[in-house]
Structure 1
Amino acid sequence: MKNGTLHMVGLSGGKDSTATLLLAIDRLGKENVRAVFADTGNEHPETYAYLDYLEHMLGIQVVRLRPDFSAEITNKRMFIARDRRAGRDKRGDKIRWSNKAKRRALAVLQSTGNPFLDLCMLKGRFPTNRARFCTEWLKRDVIVEYVDSVVQDEGRTVVVWQGVRRNESDKRKHAKKIERVAKGYYNFRPLVDWTIEDVFRCIADHGLSANPLYQMLGRVGCTPCIYATKGDVRLLAGSNPEVMDRVRNWEGQVGQASKKGFAAFFQGKELAGTKPGEVSDLVFWERHQIDGILKWAAKEGPFLREDWGRAADDGPSQGAGPRCGSEMGLCE
């Protein structure tokens, strides 16, 4: 029924959201379930292929959402062009954009149509452990806005089925099975008490294969993720060198759009033993931009949790460091 309750599954292409989708279809029928995928523009090609696979095998259509930052970029261009601020920051650098930086940024600050790249150019930086704006802007807000449009425009109650398990992380160990978010908007987490074995068994029992990325990288999500390990970087550099080429190009574009003139995809931890300000900017960025990271990753040796937080969940190092994810379960 058009005015009935809409049961929506936030589908990432990962194991938990896939199992959640299967449960929803089993209980309600595929005609009463809407699978929604928030496309960051930084997904592995295997994830896009896996969504096609699920559509074919289940006879469904996945709604694919991509945020648009063109209006925000237009406003940022106006701000940069008109910036006349006075004063200096805590490091003694001028707050105002210099004329040289303005010309450099305005030459590249245009919408590309790729949500991840556009967001990073808008911010003038890549997300980090302390400023992980990617999940918020590219996943959470996109889903929430979509749910709100259904509630407001279609007049329907929406129940969002989320693939969240309590044993995934400390952040999720107290996750409620069902909760009211707002009027007409509920979250339902049917897997809260499941184990990882339960999840893969559910997928196999339905005659489906899990996303092949679990055999390659051990996780599903942004590729690369800001929490990638040394092993992840090595593997991607060998099996998907185009991913690293893309990161190199993105670093150039985001750097040009930033006030500093430099940007590094992986800078959440001090991989080379230095922090910004402890060495010259040129040395810091040389060590932390992608070519410096590739040299670091190529060095033999065991993974060190200090390198940066482990991204893969449910692996042998589960809990060893930060992981990408949210209470909404949008990345796995």
Structure 2
Amino acid sequence: MAEKHVLGISGGKDSAALAVFVRQNYPELEVEYFFTDTGKELPEVYEFLGRLEGFLGQPIAKLNPRRDFDFWLREYKHFLPSAQTRWCTRQLKLAPFEQWIKPMLAAGDTVTSYVAIRADEEYREGYTSKHENLKVRLPFREAGIDKKAVMDILESSGVGIPKYYDWRSRSGCTFCFFQQKIEWVRLKERHPDRFEEAKQYEKNALEHGSPFTWTQGEPLEELEKPARVIQIVNDFDRRKQRDLASRPINPLRPADKIDDIDDIYGDDEGNGACVVCHK
């Protein structure tokens, strides 16, 4: 029997910062880093994973599910995943992780999983262990690390943040249903082929009677119309200006210019995020 330490990388800033934090503060631990690959990730995610591997000095294990998104879409009768039915998280993220650690637990090993939930995220809960030998730790919460401290960790380490944060607020699949409307507009601008793929998935789902579209109450064919795009962009710009005007000036962080789309929209869109994907 042995003690194993595992840390999941989502492709986002928080999990990357946690990997850096654990590497710097617990150098004695032999941590195995893993990434559950849906096959539908943004190109920027893979570029960032390579950069993070360079800092860690070791590869990040890629956990590919035995069956891809298209397989599970057929299994779920072509119904799209949604906030109400998150089969993508369950089948493409959690199941591969559980399969990966299953031999460790079967051998009697104790497995500690490190999860990137920050100290300022009291509302979030991590992965719930289903095995007595699987322990879950939240180092950021233990150390009082908040969002701004996460940015400091990534900046000071030289890892930086993924390039998709220029236009998007979370990691995960290209067609994540937790995206906000401005992010769909930007996906069409940055990766039109991925937008078209999402549109085809949605069209197929609607033809099979799915009650869900990617963005609640508005098919992508309607969202991409020029007049609607202008409306979405203008609405986002107005909210952004209101958000910036209401922020207190922090002389210690004059260069803090990252657009946090979730902060700007609050709970009006998105309705949260999956535990595994968005970090």
TM-score scaled by length of structure 1: 0.67
Structural RMSD (CA): 2.9
Q: 1:58 to 1:30 in 2, by over 3 A?
A: farther
**217, 221, 224: which one aligns with 1:291:** 221
Matched, 1:34 2:43: no
Please list, as runs of the form range in 1=range in 2, the aligned pairs for 1:307-326 lying within 5 A after superposition.
Answer: 314-321=262-269, 322-326=271-275
Residue identity matched to 1:292: E
Equivalent positions of 1:1-332 (< 5 A) are 3-29=1-27, 32-69=30-67, 115-123=68-76, 124-152=78-106, 154-168=107-121, 170=123, 172=124, 175=125, 181-192=130-141, 193-251=144-202, 254-255=204-205, 261=208, 266-267=213-214, 269-271=216-218, 288=219, 290-295=220-225, 297-300=228-231, 301-302=234-235, 314-321=262-269, 322-326=271-275, 329-332=276-279
CA distance in 2, matches of 1:129, 1:325: 9
Deviation at 1:23, TM superposition (A): 2.0
SS for the counterpart of 1:158 is strand
CA–CA separation in structure 2 for the residues paired with 1:42 and 1:269: 21
1:137-172: CA deviation from partner (whole Å, max 9, x where unpaired):
2112221232222211x43211000001253373x1
Cα 1:145–1:225 change in 2 (3 A) is same
> How far did residue 241 of structure 1 move?
0.5
Structure 1 pair 47–30 and aligned structure 2 pair: CA distance change class (3 A): farther
Sequence identity, in percent?
22
Q: Distance in 2 between matches of 1:54 and 1:133?
A: 28
- Secondary structure at the counterpart of residue 64 of structure 1: strand
Q: Distance in 1 between matches of 2:174 and 2:13?
A: 16
User: How much has 1:9 moved relative to structure 2?
Assistant: 0.3
- TM-score norm. by structure 2 comes to 0.78
Of the structure 1 ranges 181-190 and 29-38, higher mean CA displacement relative to structure 2 is found in 29-38
Report if aligned partners of 2:167, 2:183 keep a CA contact under 8 Å in 1: no
User: Which residues of structure 1 form unaligned runs of 5+?
Assistant: 70-114, 272-287, 306-311
Conservation of the 8 A alpha-carbon contact between 1:129 and 1:268: no
Q: Within 1, Cα distance between the matches of 2:170 and 2:99?
A: 27
Query: Which AA in structure 2 matches 1:151?
Result: L
Large movers: runs of 4+ above 6 Å: none
